[in-house]
A = this chain, B = another copy of it.
Amino acid sequence: MKSFSIEEIAVLVNGEQIGNCNDQINAPEQIENAIKGNITFIGSSKYVGLWEKSNASLALVYEGIPILPGEGKAFIKVKNPDLAMAVLLDAFEPEPPFFETDIHPTAVIDKTVKLGKGCKVGANSYIGRNVVLGDNVTIYPNVSVFDDCTIGNETVIWSGTVIRERSKIGSHCIFHSNVSIGSDGFGYRPSEDGRGLVKIKHIGNVVIGNGVEVGSNSCIDRGKFSSTILGDGCKIDNLVQIGHNSVLGKCCIMAGNSGLAGSVTLGDGVIIGGSASIKDHVTIHSGAKVGAGSGVIADVQAGKSVVGYPACDSREKMKQWVALRKLGRN
């Protein structure tokens, strides 16, 4: 377990120390649950009342809050508590899981695979023909990577994740547990007798940029032909569905349980709220925001916020909700 002196933490977060305490700080903790040796956070005045009873040794405090630490405890006052907290979490981050050997003997790695320097492949993982891994790629146990994929430097793939053939994955990406990349898209045509459905083959692939993170149990389908594309820096939460031939620009955010049907286009910096779903062939332009739980059935202009089902301008939808509430009370 890592630990720091209060002086070391003050330097790390570039803050001003107030009060004194000799405790070595070993973990961040919420103000109610903190024990001696913990650091906690007072980012707004609503936490002030909890401080006196807290057993924390130290708190990061927003400089605008007029509060003193009291006897035997200390504060570090900072301009930006959120940033300071992020820096602190970096400092306290534990080591990742232990690999006894870089390439576990039970991993099945085709002889044609190219492994960069410093790659780790965990127990019982499978890597198919002609896969190319960059440097320092980490593949945890029970992962499957299929033929002809490329995976960039420093990318991390957690257990249960499956990456299908011909996917191109950038560097510094993270795939959490049980992610499914590159499965066939969902497309059928009526059979000739009109009584059944015939599968449309999906021969495209998935192309993912650098710095992309994909949450647990999310799915990104391959293109029917051509590619399903995620731009650099996209952040995808858990249980998200991205349909075939969707194209996401840079730094898009999709929250948990949201979904894109096929051939959806997102510009740069688009934010999709949790459980929202977007109809096929819709374009959501750069900087637009879709509220949680919304259903988007038409294009959204750049920078606009929409919400509801069917989604419309957020302010207009608020008025509709207010009107409906009044109507229900008549």
A residues in contact (CB < 8 Å) with B: 27-30, 33, 82-83, 85-86, 89-90, 92-94, 96-98, 100, 104, 106, 108, 110, 122-124, 126, 128-129, 140-144, 146-147, 158-162, 164-166, 174, 176-178, 180, 183-184, 186, 188-189, 195-203, 211, 213, 215-219, 221, 224-226, 233, 235, 237-239, 241, 243, 250-251, 253, 255-257, 259, 261, 274-275, 277, 279, 292-293, 295, 297, 308-310, 312, 316-317, 319-325, 327-330
Contact = CB atoms under 8 A, between A and B. Distances in A.
Nearest to A95: B147
Main secondary structure of the interface of A (DSSP, over half): loop
Contacts of A30: 225-226
Contact of A233 (B28, B161, B196, B297): B196
B200 A178 contact: no
A184 to B, nearest CB: 7
A161 B180 CA distance: 11
Contacts of A275: 259, 275, 277, 295
Contacts of A126: 122-124, 141-142, 159
A201 to B, nearest CB: 4
Contacts of A158: 162, 164, 183
